[in-house]
């Protein structure tokens, strides 16, 4: 369906956070998604995939979680830059900013009160963390989120530590060629969700690498990207109906 998009400012505490907002051009109200950026920032690819979700019948917003930092979008070959930006975030601030994005969506007349989170790379972890810590989130689809069960940050619990707060199902994607996320971590994540009694499907593509959804990265896997996106749309249509 036809999409309209715009750049908006979201109040988070006393600050204003830039975000990309996309929605179907007419009709509604629609369920809403917060689309969480990769470690490289709120770039053209993330805005494009946010628009793709809107074209499938969702109001979608992608907040710039790095907005407090200068030079907050880096190229895909700039891993030191991405790690610098990622290191500037704290989980409590992330959850507050993500909550602000959800609260902004609540003010939009085209939005019905059915919220999901979806994210990629760093955003995979954030989308799951938010789902565990914000009861408004009724479904989450994290893509290749690292550090889910073992914290990679000093003085921060891993997202799975908050799993009891999860209010909806999980659809998670991982790749067997992902050097950032060992298969043992994927297994531990699946096992922890099962132990907690939370409905979850963990999709594992043995021949996929980290970033397989992104057509701007060498690791892009067109077939799995297409499959995963269709599966994600069906998941949110069912759980945010």
Q: pTM for the full model?
A: 0.97
Domain 3-239 - what CATH class? alpha beta
- The pLDDT assigned to 35 comes to 98
Known catalytic membership, residue 121: yes
Q: Which is catalytic among the residues 45, 91, 121, 209? A: 121
- The pLDDT assigned to 198 comes to 98
Q: Which is catalytic among the residues 45, 210, 221, 224? A: 210
Evaluate if residue 154 carries a pLDDT over 80.
no
Q: Which is catalytic among the residues 178, 214, 221, 224? A: 178
164/237 Cα distance (integer angstroms): 24
DSSP symbols for 145-211: --SSSS--STT---GGGGGGG--S-EEEEEETT-TTS-HHHHHHHHHHHHHTT--EEEEEETT--TT
Q: Are 226 and 210 in contact (CB under 8 A)?
A: no
Known catalytic membership, residue 132: no
Evaluate if residue 21 carries a pLDDT over 90.
yes
pLDDT digits (tens, 9 = 90+) for 103-139: 999 999 999 999 999 999 999 999 999 999 999 999 9
- Residue 38 CB contacts under 8 Å (≥ 6 apart), including other chains: 45, 46, 82, 120, 121, 122, 123, 211, 214
Known catalytic membership, residue 210: yes
- The pLDDT assigned to 224 comes to 98
Evaluate if residue 48 carries a pLDDT over 90.
yes
Distance from CA of residue 149 to its chain's centroid? 17
The residue written with tokens 């998604």 in the block is 33
93/96 Cα distance (integer angstroms): 5
Bridge partners, residue 198, by sequence = none
190/239 Cα distance (integer angstroms): 20
Evaluate if residue 153 carries a pLDDT over 80.
no
User: Which band of pLDDT confidence, cut at 50, 70 and 90, is reported for residue 206?
Assistant: very high
- The pLDDT assigned to 123 comes to 98
173/86 Cα distance (integer angstroms): 21
Share of the chain above pLDDT 90, in %: 97
Q: Are 37 and 62 in contact (CB under 8 A)?
A: yes
The residue-averaged pLDDT of 5-32 equals: 97
């Amino acid at each position: 369906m036809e999409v309209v998009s715009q750049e908006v400012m979201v109040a988070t505490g006393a600050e204003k956070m830039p975000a990309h907002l996309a929605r179907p051009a007419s009709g509604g109200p629609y369920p809403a998604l917060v689309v969480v950026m990769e470690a490289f920032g709120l770039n053209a690819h993330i805005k494009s995939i946010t628009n793709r979700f809107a074209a499938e019948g969702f109001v979608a917003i992608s907040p710039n979680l790095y907005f407090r930092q200068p030079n907050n979008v880096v190229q895909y070959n700039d891993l030191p830059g991405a790690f610098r930006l990622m290191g500037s975030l704290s989980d409590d601030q992330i959850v507050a900013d993500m909550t602000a994005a959800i609260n902004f969506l609540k003010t939009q007349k085209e939005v019905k009160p059915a919220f999901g989170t979806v994210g990629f790379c760093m955003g995979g972890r954030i989308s799951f963390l938010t789902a565990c810590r914000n009861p408004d989130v009724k479904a989450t689809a994290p893509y290749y989120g690292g550090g889910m069960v073992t914290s990679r940050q000093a003085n921060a619990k891993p997202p799975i530590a908050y799993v009891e707060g999860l209010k909806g199902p999980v659809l998670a994607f991982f790749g067997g060629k992902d050097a950032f996320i060992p298969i043992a971590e994927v297994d531990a994540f699946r096992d922890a969700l099962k132990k907690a009694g939370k409905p979850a499907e963990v999709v594992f593509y043995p021949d996929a690498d980290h970033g397989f959804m992104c057509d701007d990265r060498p690791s892009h896997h067109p077939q799995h990207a297409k499959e995963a996106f269709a599966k994600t749309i069906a998941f949110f249509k069912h759980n945010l109906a």
